[in-house]
Structure 1
Amino acid sequence: MEIEPLGLVALLALLFASLALCGVLAARVRRGSRRAVTPVLVPPRELVAAELERTRGAYEVQLTRLRGEREQALADNGVLRSRLAEVEGGVEAALAAAVEVRLAAALEAEVEARVAAALEAQVEAQVEARLTAAFEAKVELGVAARLAEALAAAAARNRTQEAAEAPDPPGGPALSPAVPSRLPLGRDSAADSTIDGADLGPLIVRAASVRGDRQRDDGEHRRDAILLGLVEEIPSPTLLSVVAAGAPRGLWSRSAAERACRSLAAQLGHYGERLGAELYQGAYATTHVPGDDSELGGLLRTAVQGVARSVRLVARNETGGASAGPGSTGAAGDAEVEVALTGLLSRLGDHQLREHVAFGVGDCSVLRLREGAWGEVFTGAREARLPSAAPELRWARFDTRPGDLLAVCSAPMAELLLREDLGDWFAERWADRRPFLTAFFSDVNVRVRSAGGDRSAVCLWDFGEARRTSTTGGSTRSATGDGHA
């Protein structure tokens, strides 16, 4: 069946119309059902009153809090006003002080300017006066130079006259140095004499060792030894002075004395730190006998025992071990190398009271020249000798004042210094002096007959401060080092 186009259009229009009607009906039904379901709620009066009461309470609490904040703000405002008033007062005071300071500075600047002007005028006047004086001095320069030359010549003549008028030793004129007439014999022989010395600021040291008269007549060699040196291991600068005197009949005593001096310096260096802590403290002018168990006494005894072992090696080396072998007692070897040993440790530097520590075994001693008189401040055990008598060590502390002289001496030299006639002669020549090495050697080697053996001495002049050494009597300059004759 065929449908015409017009009929088809009409059919579609009816279809759409029916769909629209169905939609409208459905919307009305949905809206009607929603109105029927939703009830109308009316709150009860009691709930409304409670809600109003709660809201009012909340507002009252908030109002109370706001009032407290307002009161706190007012209080803070008052504090800030008081602080502002204080700050304003401080600022006013500071301004007033600043004004006063500036006024004072201005016044001071004006005063300084006036003073500077016055000083400048005074300086100009002084400069003019000095220029005038310099011109006048230049005119007189030739006369002053000639006068200085004349004074120097007069001083040289006076020194020559003083040297010529120096007292002679008792028994005749000084023919020093005495000259030996025979050379020493023996394989262990050494130089007839030796000298050493140094100028160590305020401490002047001279040393000499001379063969004795009897040894020269008999053709025997010198058996003494001396040593000067610094113990570098001790923190405080310290001078070591050593005199070692070999036994007169010891076959190898000269070598033993030389070995003892060098070994003592090495042994003290081993204990330098501990010695530095113990040296310059404690009681002075006290001699410590053998057996002293103090720290310093123990260190010195240990060092001297090391020296004794080193001395024994001399006999062993010279005899090939026959006299001092490991299995023997070593008594014969000890007799061949017996030596008396005395050491002196002295603090260097400027000191009004200079500390010294003397120690030793044997008859060497330390003398002190003070106010023109000799006095013995230390001596070891007279009959003791190294190496066998190392436990017999003695030691002592003492001090020197500016102007004192110390002498570390062998026994024969100490006897000469303590003799009434010769002691005064040495005191007059050595007091407050700084002699040349050769002059000191001549004094030790003075031709005065004595029954003793070798003469050995180390002398220390204490001037307290270095500046005083340039104003002392005697020679004004001295060579250092060592020499042999």
Structure 2
Amino acid sequence: MSQQGASPARQGDDWWGELYDGTTPDTGPARTPDSLDDRFASARNAVTERPRPPDHPADPAVSPDHVGSGPPTYDPEPTALPPADPDAPDGLVPDTVLDGARYGPCTLRAVSQRGDSARYRGEPRRDALLTARFGTGERALVLVAMATGARAVPGAHLAAAEACRGIARAVGRSHRRLAEDIRAARRGDLKSGLHRLADRALGGLRASAGTEAPVAGLRCLLLPADPDCRVRVFFGVGDGGLFRLRDGTWQDIEPRLTADDTAPGAPPGDDRTASRAGAPRPGPPDPRPPREPFRFRASVARPGDVLVLCTAGLADPLRDTEALRARLARRWSGGSPPGLAAFLADARVRVKGYADDRTAAAVWEA
């Protein structure tokens, strides 16, 4: 039978064979090696030999995960899981939580992650993070709350989580008044009102624990959704940091404590406050320990600012380590806010000697 009468299948087989036949002049022996090893070598060379523009910031996926003279003692990734109680699965907390949002001119990124030491020992993350929006539209109010459970308190991670939930309940019920006070810049009303809310939230925790000693530290940000309002409000108690990155330079704007902030007694607005304003009232000394110092700051943001609130796990190395400040300044200045994954990579850059939990919230101003 002639070639013309060959079946279509046979024609296809012949075409396929001729195409990959090494004797066909059009193909012949391969001009370049094509084994798996050759392909890997080609890809490796393409990556390593490509020049990087001198002003291009380092990609966190190829740059080291630490700064300083050497790597930290512990592994950078989680190892042991915390012990689990089969009758209390609600007490389990994940190694890392990540969140973000954008309202008006500000973009929020927030993360809480277990420290290297807790990961190695199989201990739960004592830091807690909560982000919430109350209200709708331009009258909405965004709350970022972070807490650290005291080391000596059993179930410290549960106390931290409850501190965040407690302040969220209090702020949520008062969010309309708080949003109005922020827009009207009523600093005095805000400070006294938020002081009472924080005292109630933490006081309930102390009562549950049966102690007057601090159970958890609590640090919060209030961000109005109104695009015309640039006021950002910080309040809370306990260790940590409040920083502002402006024009590529870090500013430590943690509020300084006054005598009233550290005085013993009950929250503002009780008889003790009234007695300080008028004639002193004689009476027995207060048996209660000094109340936890309350910190408050209301600041006006500028376009290009980055406001960073964090627990001590990040605040301490950020204050002490120039290399960390410089790296985060390069990453977070003069551009668009990072995505969630990039923010996580930035926030977890480690420093030898600092192995506590890290919780941070950063707000980029457009």
Question: Normalised by the size of structure 1, how large is the TM-score?
Answer: 0.51
Q: CA, structure 1 residues 274+219, in 2 after alignment: closer, same or farther (shift >3 Å)?
A: same
Where 1:262 maps in the other structure, the secondary structure is helix
Where 1:244 maps in the other structure, the secondary structure is strand
Where 1:249 maps in the other structure, the secondary structure is coil
Q: CA, structure 1 residues 298+199, in 2 after alignment: closer, same or farther (shift >3 Å)?
A: closer
Distance of 1:222 and 1:269 partners within structure 2: 26
Aligned amino acid, residue 365 of structure 2: D
Give matches, 1:9-408, under 5 Å. Answer: 162=56, 168=64, 169-171=66-68, 178-185=76-83, 187=85, 188-232=91-135, 236-282=139-185, 294-312=188-206, 315=209, 324=210, 330-331=211-212, 334=213, 338-351=215-228, 354-379=230-255, 392-408=293-309
Where 2:183 maps in the other structure, the secondary structure is coil
Select the structure that is richer in helix: 1
Shift of 1:391: 6.2
Unaligned runs of 5+ in 1: 1-156, 285-293, 316-323, 325-329, 464-485
What is the root-mean-square deviation in Å for CA atoms of aligned residues?
3.6
Q: CA offsets per residue over residues 429-484 of structure 1, 9 Å max, x none? A: 12233212122112222243233511110111111xxxxxxxxxxxxxxxxxxxxx
Distance of 2:116 and 2:233 partners within structure 1: 32
1:121 equivalent in structure 2: none
Shift of 1:343: 0.9
Where 1:358 maps in the other structure, the secondary structure is strand
Where 2:221 maps in the other structure, the secondary structure is strand
Q: CA, structure 1 residues 396+165, in 2 after alignment: closer, same or farther (shift >3 Å)?
A: closer
More relative contact order, 1 or 2 (CA 8 Å, 6+ apart):
2
Q: CA, structure 1 residues 202+213, in 2 after alignment: closer, same or farther (shift >3 Å)?
A: same
Q: CA, structure 1 residues 412+342, in 2 after alignment: closer, same or farther (shift >3 Å)?
A: same
Shift of 1:372: 1.1
Distance of 1:244 and 1:234 partners within structure 2: 28
Shift of 1:223: 0.2
Q: CA offsets per residue over residues 168-201 of structure 1, 9 Å max, x none? A: 55247999x9311222236555211111112335
Q: CA offsets per residue over residues 304-363 of structure 1, 9 Å max, x none? A: 122124424653xxxxxxxx3xxxxx34xx56xx11111111222434x71111111111
2:330 equivalent in structure 1: 428
1:12 equivalent in structure 2: none
Q: CA offsets per residue over residues 189-240 of structure 1, 9 Å max, x none? A: 5211111112335311111111112222332221001111113289833221
Aligned amino acid, residue 190 of structure 2: L
Q: CA, structure 1 residues 232+344, in 2 after alignment: closer, same or farther (shift >3 Å)?
A: same
2:5 equivalent in structure 1: none
Distance of 1:210 and 1:263 partners within structure 2: 21
Distance of 2:152 and 2:119 partners within structure 1: 15
1:479 equivalent in structure 2: none
Distance of 1:413 and 1:312 partners within structure 2: 26
Provide the aligned length of Structure 1 versus Structure 2: 278
What is the aligned counterpart of 1:410 among 292, 299, 311? 311
1:95 equivalent in structure 2: none
Residue pair 1:342, 1:365 contacting (<8 A) in 2 also? no
Where 2:139 maps in the other structure, the secondary structure is coil
Where 1:357 maps in the other structure, the secondary structure is strand
Percent identity between matched residues is 31
Distance of 1:178 and 1:441 partners within structure 2: 13
Residue pair 2:318, 2:325 contacting (<8 A) in 1 also? yes
Q: CA, structure 1 residues 165+258, in 2 after alignment: closer, same or farther (shift >3 Å)?
A: closer
Where 2:67 maps in the other structure, the secondary structure is coil
Distance of 2:137 and 2:179 partners within structure 1: 5
Select the structure that is richer in strand: 2
Q: CA, structure 1 residues 450+444, in 2 after alignment: closer, same or farther (shift >3 Å)?
A: farther
2:30 equivalent in structure 1: none
Aligned amino acid, residue 367 of structure 1: F
Q: CA, structure 1 residues 163+308, in 2 after alignment: closer, same or farther (shift >3 Å)?
A: same
Distance of 1:302 and 1:234 partners within structure 2: 27
Aligned amino acid, residue 77 of structure 2: V
Where 2:76 maps in the other structure, the secondary structure is coil
1:7 equivalent in structure 2: none
Distance of 1:443 and 1:173 partners within structure 2: 18
Residue pair 1:227, 1:241 contacting (<8 A) in 2 also? yes
Where 1:274 maps in the other structure, the secondary structure is helix
Aligned amino acid, residue 378 of structure 1: E
Q: CA, structure 1 residues 455+181, in 2 after alignment: closer, same or farther (shift >3 Å)?
A: same
Distance of 1:234 and 1:365 partners within structure 2: 30
Where 1:378 maps in the other structure, the secondary structure is coil
Residue pair 1:193, 1:208 contacting (<8 A) in 2 also? yes
Q: CA, structure 1 residues 252+283, in 2 after alignment: closer, same or farther (shift >3 Å)?
A: same
